[in-house]
Amino acid sequence: MGKLHELRRKIILYTLLCISSISMVLPFLWMLSASLKSEKDVFSFPIQWITDAPVWRNYIVIWEKIDFATYYMNTIKLTVVITILQLITCSLAAYAFAKIDFPEQKVLFLGYLATMMVPFQVVMIPQFIIMKNLHLTDTHMALILLQAFSPFGVFLLRQYYLNIPNELLEAARIDGMGEFKIYSKIMVPLAKPALASLSIFTFVFVWNDFLGPLIYLNTDKNKTIQLGIRKFITEYTSEYSLIMAASVCALIPVLIIFLLAQKYFIEGVAMTGMKG
């Protein structure tokens, strides 16, 4: 009876997992299907998942109709620069909060984390005024400066650093290593899974960011891919087949990054929750 009960439990669990997985994958499959259809067939019912005559030209039109290549390169530039900066700033701050004793350490850390509870809409206008006074509006530097730091990234890496034995660092200090050398030679190599996790989170956020570029970027030469896709939506109509084709192209780098760092990502998320 015990084995039968366990079998039923597993069947129910796997069934629920399969249903959840299908529900998450279904929108992506519809996006891919719609990207290969003509505009009149996108919302046809019942849904024809595999069209008889795929419109591959949609993937050519999106590069011809708008300056998609420029938007793509701008997004890659912003994403790579911001991701690298966040890895540097967050890992340094996390090391200080996790492994260096200084006055009011916990209070400062809690205060820093408290900024995560402040909605973006609250600081949006003050940030814009600051960037305007610095003459950085309509430049990529405004977005880079605002997103180069992340309380979430500091928290994520700090939780991982807490799992690294203090004895290892004490031995390095006895051998004469300074704090920065300990950080670069010991902590960073050991924290690869957590750094990979933060890289994926940052990459996906910056790549998909719409509101930030919408606020700060005005000229076409500076706009990102998310603002470029918006050009297929006009006052009177929306070209959904082209929007879906552009969305598929925009999704490719995110999938590549996740697949490359998947092993470290899973390990990093698992390890960061082991110690508070």
Domain 56-272 has CATH 1.10.3720.10: yes
51-82 pLDDT, tens digit per residue, is: 778 888 888 888 888 888 899 899 999 999 99
**pLDDT at site 275:** 47
User: What does the alpha-carbon distance between residue 245 and residue 205 come to, in Å, rounded to a whole number?
Assistant: 20
- Residue partners of 34: CB distance under 8 A and separation at least 6: 42, 240, 241, 244
**pLDDT at site 116:** 83
User: What does the alpha-carbon distance between residue 86 and residue 148 come to, in Å, rounded to a whole number?
Assistant: 5
DSSP secondary structure letter of residue 274? S
For residue 136, the SS3 value is coil
Which residues does residue 114 pair with via DSSP β-bridges, in sequence order? Answer: none
The reported pTM is: 0.82
- How far the first Cα of the chain sits from its last, in Å, is 40
Q: Are 90 and 149 spatial neighbours (Cβ–Cβ below 8 Å)?
A: yes
**pLDDT at site 2:** 66
**pLDDT at site 236:** 64
The half-sphere exposure of 147 on its side-chain side, counting CA atoms within 13 A, is 25
For 176, the token pair is 């004469």
Higher per-residue confidence, 93 vs 235: 93
Q: Decide if pLDDT at 160 tops 90.
A: no
**pLDDT at site 242:** 87
User: What does the alpha-carbon distance between residue 74 and residue 128 come to, in Å, rounded to a whole number?
Assistant: 20
Of 27-41, 124-138, 208-222, 255-269, the range with the lowest mean pLDDT is 255-269
- Helix (DSSP H) and strand (DSSP E) numbers for the chain: 14, 0
Which residues does residue 238 pair with via DSSP β-bridges, in sequence order? Answer: 233
Higher per-residue confidence, 265 vs 219: 219
User: What does the alpha-carbon distance between residue 27 and residue 29 come to, in Å, rounded to a whole number?
Assistant: 5
Which residues does residue 233 pair with via DSSP β-bridges, in sequence order? Answer: 238
User: What does the alpha-carbon distance between residue 268 and residue 262 come to, in Å, rounded to a whole number?
Assistant: 10
